[in-house]
Structure formats: structure tokens, C-alpha cells
Amino acid sequence: MKCPGCGANIQFEDPKKPGYIPREAFEKRLEEGKEILCQRCFRIKHYGKLEPIEYDWDFRNQLKSYLGGFEVVLWVIDIFDFEGTYREDIANLLEGKDVVYVINKLDLLPRAVTVKEVKEWVKKRIKAKDPERIRIVSAEKNYGLKSLVKLLARLTDKALVIGVTNVGKSSLLNRICTHENTISSFPGTTLGILRRKVKGENLYLYDTPGIMTKDRILDLLDPECQKTILPKEELSRKTFKPERNRTIFMGGLCRFDVDYETERSPIFLLFSSREVTFHETRRERADELMKNRLGDLLKPPCSKARYEDFTWKKEKFVLNEGEELAVAGLGWMSVRRGPLTVEVTVPENVKLVVREALV
Ligand code: GDP
């Protein structure tokens, strides 16, 4: 039996895969003689919201099939979590398309950072050939959206919109589109996508499901906790000038053991959401805190979690002045006086990247 919305085979086993519907819901609707849509299409139809989908082999193929119908792709990326939301594997799939890179959430950066600086920084890190195609915006503050729409309308009358979860893709589309939604299916694909009309333009944007990643700290938190931890206003930052043998926590899921050979201690800043606790302690106490204070003194996680609930890894870095160590889905460390050696402890899959300073 196929879902009439997207054409996927109806199944009861895996909520993350196409065609899923809870068995009870299926039986109830069958009994009542109502249309049987898969859960995803049901939610699209009734709430105008696409369910996120895992970025697995199947989705990659789906994305390829959608791409066939579009010349222009709008890729929404989060400046707060560039490493977690700009992905090489996606960039490779977009080869040959006219990609507009929408760098969202500008409002989270300190005001001292200019749009021009952000754009320069992004330009060095992505595959855009034309700087015109990099747009720095804030969906929240309605910044940069008008000129984005103008650019798109100049390029095309339809574009595909993609992005990993929580980058603000829905917020952006809600700002620039009307409330008309149509589920569209594409030959060779099983996931319906949502067609939306841009206000005041002969331009349609096709919204795809948010892509779920597995290597951001955010991905390890329950949905309620994600909501609290996602930064809503300018990031909090704190300066550290640690003595020897100190440990600094950025929440409970990221620990920095800092060392240095120089006489003067290094100086660095941490940047993260205001809901993330920064905590400095003696190295001897750090293990105990990690074992007993996750979700309490050290947030995220948001509720009491056990050290054993996670599989941890340790990675060592030597950072110089002007470099940052980004922790995907959480924040970053920015070095102001180096060099410093840091051993980072995070859950196993979490992506750690050394980069040129953004701030
Ligand atoms: P989606 O999963 O990509 O569709 O993301 P949403 O639109 O649901 O947004 C995820 C979170 O980011 C929500 O809490 C939004 O309020 C927030 N958000 C979206 N755009 C912005 C922005 O420009 N600035 C800030 N500070 N937050 C934003």
C-alpha cells in the first residue's frame, strides 16, 4: 500500500524512513474510512511542516532526484554552527548547480563583527565562485531578506531549498513566502516536498525536509533541550586566562584541558548560547564533575544524565593566536594569546574543527 501524498510504501517499523505511520493511527483511519497518509505527509498537509529526515544513502539519492528539476538551489547555513551546517558531502552533491548560500543568524554574532568580514570569512571556506551568491542574513531580524529575494527573482522562477535541521530554514521561508502550501511529488523520489510562493514575486521555493546530522552536540540532546540551547540572542562569551592544570567546561558535553609551555598563560574566549554553562575548575576535580554534575552544574544536557550515557573521545590540538576550535552544534574557543595545547573531551561522533577566527 502506498501513501497517496508521496508515493512511499506505507510501513510501521521506522519513523525515520519514508512511508511511516504508527500502526494504531493506521488502523484507526482505516476503520473510519479516512485517507491514509504517511505521518510525514499528514503533517505537511495539516501543519505545513516537513519532518526532518536522516542524511543517509537513501536521502542522498532522493536529493539527487530533486536536484534534476532545478537549476538554482538555496542552501541555508547557520553562522553560529558553520562546521555543523555547511557540509562537504552536500556541497559535492550540488556540483554544477547555481547555489545561493544563505548564511543565517547574523544577529547571534557580536555587533563588532561586520557583514563584510563575515562574508570574507565564509568566502574562503565554501565553493562559491561568485561572492554575489553568498548572502548574510538574519531571518529573525528580517535582515538581508529583501535583497535575497531580489537576487532569486532575477535568477529564476523556481528554486530548491535545502539545509540541515535548525538552521532557520522554516523561519526564513515563513518570512518571505505566503501561506499557500502544496505538496509536490517528483518522479523517482518518495519524499514529498513543499511548494511555497514568494510574496510579491513570480517565484516558487520548494522546501525539502531538514537533514538530520549526527555529529553536532545539538543532535545528542532531546528536542526540548535543543529548543532551550539553541541561541536566541547574541552569543554569550567569556574570557579565560587559566593557570596551569585547569579544566574549562563548555556545558557538560565538552571539556577543555588546557596546557602551555610558555611563561605567560594563554588567553582565549568561549562563545556559545547563553543557556550553555561555562565552568572553570581544577583538573583533579574535573572527572568528578563530569560524573556527577551533568545536566545540573554543567548544561547541556538539560536533565540529569550519566557519564556512561555517552561514549567519549579525547582529541589534542595546538592552537595559535587567531585560531578557533569549533565544536559542532555547541560553540567555539577563540585564542587571543597562544600557543595553547588543549585536550578536548566530547562525545564520540562530535565534529571538532580548527579554523581561522571568525570573531
Ligand atoms: P529549520 O529546522 O531549519 O526549519 O529551523 P527553524 O526555522 O525551525 O529555526 C530553528 C531555531 O532557530 C528556532 O529556534 C528559530 O527561532 C531560530 N532562528 C531561525 N532564524 C534565526 C535567526 O536569524 N536568528 C536567530 N537568533 N535565531 C533564528
pLDDT tens, residue by residue, 228-267: 999 999 999 999 999 999 999 999 999 999 999 889 999 9
Per-residue pLDDT at 188 exceeds 90 = no
Mean pLDDT of 1-23: 88
Model confidence band, residue 59 (pLDDT cutoffs 50, 70, 90): confident
pLDDT score, position 122: 97
pLDDT at residue number 272? 98
Residue 170 pLDDT:
92
Give pLDDT, residue 187. Answer: 64
Q: What is the reported pLDDT for 42?
A: 86
- Of the candidates 241, 77, 243, 237, the one whose C-alpha atom is nearest the C-alpha of residue 168 is 77
**Residue 165 Cα to ligand 1 middle (Å):** 9
pLDDT tens across 258-304, in order? 999 889 999 999 999 999 999 999 999 999 999 999 999 999 999 99
In angstroms, the CA 23 to CA 38 distance is 11
**Which residue has the least CA distance to atom 6 on ligand 1?**
168
Tell me what pLDDT residue 181 has. 72
Give residue-wise pLDDT tens across range 148-174: 999 999 999 999 999 999 999 999 999
State the pLDDT at residue 189.
63
- Once rounded to an integer, what is the mean pLDDT over residues 10-26? 92
> To the nearest whole percent, how much of the chain has pLDDT over 90?
79
pLDDT band at 141 (very low <50, low <70, confident <90, very high): very high
Mean pLDDT of 339-356: 97
Residue nearest to atom 26 of ligand 1 (CA): 232
Per-residue pLDDT at 22 exceeds 80: yes
CA-nearest residue for atom 10, ligand 1, is 166
Q: Which fold has domain 50-213?
A: Rossmann fold (3.40.50)
Comparing C-alpha atoms, which of 247, 234, 230, 233 is closest to residue 302? Answer: 230
Its ipTM equals: 0.99
Q: Which of 33-47, 176-190, 305-319 comes out lowest in average pLDDT?
A: 176-190
Q: Which atom of ligand 1 is nearest to the CA of 230?
A: 14
Q: Whose CA is nearest to atom 20 of ligand 1?
A: 168
Kindly report the average pLDDT of the chain as a whole number: 93
Which residues approach ligand 1 with their CB closer than 6 A? 104-105, 107-108, 138-140, 163, 165-171, 210, 230-232
Res. 179: pLDDT tops 70: yes
Any idea where the domains of the chain sit in the sequence?
A: 1-47, 50-213, 218-356
